[in-house]
Copies of this chain bind each other. A is one copy, B any other.
C-alpha cells in the first residue's frame, strides 16, 4: 500500500470539508487505489499543524476553532518547507490581482516535487502558465478542477471527455450568484439592487457582491480555462467584463416582451487573431439551451470538430461540492 501524505493550506469552509471528506474516504482510497491517504499538515492564516503520521480528527477540530492572535507577516512558507508531503491542496483566500500567498505556496510545493491541487482561483489567474511549466519541469501534476466551477466539470471536459477533439468555442454560465440575481430580476420583477440584497440575505452573495456581480468571477474562470485549455496568454485585465448591477426596469420589460432571458455568459473563441475571451450580458431567446438554466445553476457549452456540441448543466455550488471537486482531482492522482 502506497502512502500519500497530503498538506492543506487554507482552513476555511472548503478546507475543513476537504479534511472531513479525506477522513471519510480513507477506506475508499485503500480499496480502490491501494493508497493510504493521510492529511499530515494544515495551515491557516496565522498558524499551522503538522504530524507526519496524520492529523487526528479531534486535533483538526480544535485547530479549526482555535482563536489565534493575528501575526502580521506570518505565512505558511517556512512551515511548508519543513513538511514532507506528496500533495499540496491549496484552498486559501483567492487573490486574482496578485495571486496572494496561494501562488507562493503552489510554486513552493511544485518546486519541491509535490503534486498540487488548486481550489482557489487567484494563483491560476495570475500565473497558470508558470505553474504549469514548473509542474512539467518537476514531473508532477497541477490539478485545477476545484478552481474552475468546482462540481460543474469544465477543465475535465477538455482534458478527458473530449480528448482528441479540437475545441472551437466555449461558453458558459459560470457564476451561480449572478445567475441567481438575473433569474430573480426576471421572474419576480424586482430590481437588480433588490435581487442582490436578497441573495446576500440568503448567503448566496458576499457582503461585497462586486466580484460576482461585476463579472470578475466569470472572467477569472474563463481566464484560467483559456490559458489551460487553449494555451492562451490572457490576463484578467484583457477580458472585457459586463456587470449586472444596474439593469433598468425598461430593459427588463423589453426582454420580457421579447421572451428573452438575460444571462451573464463567459465565452472563449478561437479567432484568426488568436484566442479571445469575454464576459457578456446576453439576452438569450427562450429556445436557447441556456434559457432554462436558472437560479444558482451553472452550465458550460462546448463546440468541437468531430463530437458535435456538448452542454453540461448543474453541479452544486457549496463548500462540500467544491471540496468534492478537489478530491476528484486527488483520485485522478491516486489512479494515475
Contact = CB atoms under 8 A, between A and B. Distances in A.
A19 to B, nearest CB: 14
Interface in A155-177: 156, 160-165
A307 B315 contact: yes
A313 B325 contact: no
Interface stretch (A223-231, A233-241, A326-334): A326-334
A70 B264 CA distance: 60
B336 A307 contact: no
Interface stretch (A93-101, A187-195, A271-279, A316-324): A316-324
Contacts of A282: none
A113 interface: no
Interface string A142-154: 0000000001110
Contacts of A320: 306
Nearest to A165: B324
Contact of A321 (B287, B306, B316, B332): B306
Contacts of A160: 156, 160-161, 328, 332
A153 B163 contact: no
Interface residues of A, number: 38
A315 B321 contact: no
Given A156-B161, A161-B153, A310 B306 contact: no
A301 to B, nearest CB: 8
Interface string A262-300: 000000000000000000000000010100100000000
A300 to B, nearest CB: 10
A209 interface: no
A142 to B, nearest CB: 15
Contact of A314 (B21, B152, B306, B308): B308
Given A25-B164, A164-B331, A328-B163, A310 B315 contact: yes
**What is the copy number of this chain in the assembly?**
2
Contact of A307 (B163, B316, B332): B316
A164 B327 contact: yes
Contacts of A307: 151, 315-316, 321, 324-325
Given A164-B324, A331-B164, A314 B315 contact: no
A104 interface: no
A49 to B, nearest CB: 24
A153 B161 CA distance: 6
A312 interface: yes
Interface in A201-258: none
A335 B163 CA distance: 11
B321 A310 contact: no
| Top 9 closest pairs, chain A to chain B, by CB | A308-B316, A151-B307, A163-B331, A153-B161, A310-B314, A306-B324, A311-B313, A309-B314, A163-B328
Given A163-B332, A287-B292, 12 more contacts: A151-B307, A151-B310, A153-B310, A160-B328, A162-B328, A163-B328, A164-B331, A292-B292, A307-B324, A308-B314, A309-B314, A336-B336
Interface of A: 21, 25, 28, 151-153, 156, 160-165, 287, 289, 292, 306-316, 320-321, 323-325, 327-328, 331-332, 335-336
